[in-house]
Amino acid sequence: MISTNRRILAALAAMCFAVGLAACGEDESDSGGAGSDAPAATEKTIERDDANASKGTITVGSKNFTEQFILGEIYAQTLEAQGFKVQRRLNLGSEQVAYKALRGGEISMYPEYTGTALTSFFDIKTTDVPKDADEAYEQAKKEYAKNKITALERTPFQNTYVIASTKDTAENAGSPKTASALFEKNANLSISGFPECRQRQDCLLGLRSLYGYKGKFVSSDGKFSDLDDDEADLTLAFGTDPKLALTDKYTAYEDDKKLFPPYHITLGVRDDVVEKIGPKAIETLETVQKGMTETAMRELNRRVELDKQPAKEAAAAYLKEEGFVQ
């Protein structure tokens, strides 16, 4: 099935190349690639300027998990393709450590989730995070600006919580696509989640009040193993979890009532670095993000976590398959 997924993604990527980025948009089904054959040179190919090497070393940071490693490599390799000298610090630790490094000038930039930035850096209560993705981004952008950090445009994908099940459970439930449709006729299915979920309005309490969920809650860190071991019918996973790329085994349901806060990526870049690298470099970094749909990120995460491909190779493949490098 993995090879089938790759063929599907390849076809989608080819369609995107044919009609352009604007036609592909942000819809998850219009995958940003992460599985196609390398294309010929296109208008998207990154232009190299050897003069960029004289602008000093750009240090790209990231937090300490798979998706962050991949993103850090994509941004680092994008800058290198433009001729910049790049240093990597892709295992900084938690968001607090990474943000401190950014504010202190130890790193030039690092990718962070808008919901995390608002709640961890800017003291916004989780329940007060805007449900609209653009509003959340704009709020984070304004807060970053107060600290002389430019928040680049948000990515199409987000990595917030998502309700997931096995494919068999989904079929037995009538193959619903949304959480509303799922719980309308299956309100008593059990669901597993992190222990704190039980008392959180943006988790179990919200599922009950917003979706009318009535089932048993299983406190666990197991996620997909809970499904595989029949410990729970549903689980709270993350939207770009690599196992969701295994569409023959698992299904995710759209949070159509927007219970979970938006967690899109914005690349935070120090203002002095923005001035140093120039508008062309910033534009290129934002353009490279356009293929980062949830489907594409699940596939990239799958390659690294499940196939054990180095994050550097996965990032290079993304840039090549999308036509940004040759």
- Per-residue pLDDT tens over the stretch 279-289: 999 999 999 99
326 within domain boundaries: no
CA angle 110, 118, 150 (to 5 degrees): 45
pLDDT at 8: 38
Give per-residue burial for 143-160: e unless 16+ CB within 10 Å, then b.
bbeeeebbbbbbbbbbbb
Q: Which residues pair with 161 in a beta bridge?
A: 238
**Residues 260-303: pLDDT tens digits?**
999 999 999 999 999 999 999 999 999 999 999 999 999 999 99
**What average pLDDT does the segment 120-128 reach?**
92
Q: Max CA-CA distance within the chain?
A: 63
User: What's the structural domain count of the chain?
Assistant: 2
- What's the CATH code of the domain at 278? 3.40.190.10
Of 234, 253, 272, which residue is a domain's last? 253
| Phi (first) and psi of residue 144, to 5 degrees | -60, -40
pLDDT at 249: 97
Shared domain for 196 and 109, answered yes or no, is: no
Specify the length of the chain in residues.
326
110 within domain boundaries: yes
Shared domain for 135 and 173, answered yes or no, is: no
Shared domain for 272 and 148, answered yes or no, is: yes
**Residues 75-91: pLDDT tens digits?**
999 999 999 999 999 99
Shared domain for 286 and 137, answered yes or no, is: yes
Q: Is 17 within 8 Å of 303 (Cβ atoms)? A: no
Tokens 């602008």 belong to residue:
55
Assigned token pair, 263: 């967690």
**What average pLDDT does the segment 97-114 reach?**
98
58 within domain boundaries: yes
Q: Where are the beta strands (DSSP E) in the chain?
A: 57-61, 85-89, 109-113, 149-151, 161-166, 191-193, 217-219, 234-238, 250-253, 265-270
Residue 107 has pLDDT above 50, yes or no: yes
Shared domain for 137 and 172, answered yes or no, is: no
Q: 3-state class of 237 per DSSP?
A: strand
Domain encompassing residue 229: 161-253
Shared domain for 240 and 272, answered yes or no, is: no
199 within domain boundaries: yes
**Residues 32-42: pLDDT tens digits?**
455 445 445 56
| Phi (first) and psi of residue 2, to 5 degrees | -60, -45
Shared domain for 125 and 29, answered yes or no, is: yes
Shared domain for 188 and 266, answered yes or no, is: no
Q: Strands 265-270, 109-113: parallel, antiparallel or unpaired by DSSP? A: antiparallel
Nearest of 294, 258, 322 to residue 67 by alpha carbon: 294
Assigned token pair, 208: 């009950």
Shared domain for 75 and 22, answered yes or no, is: yes
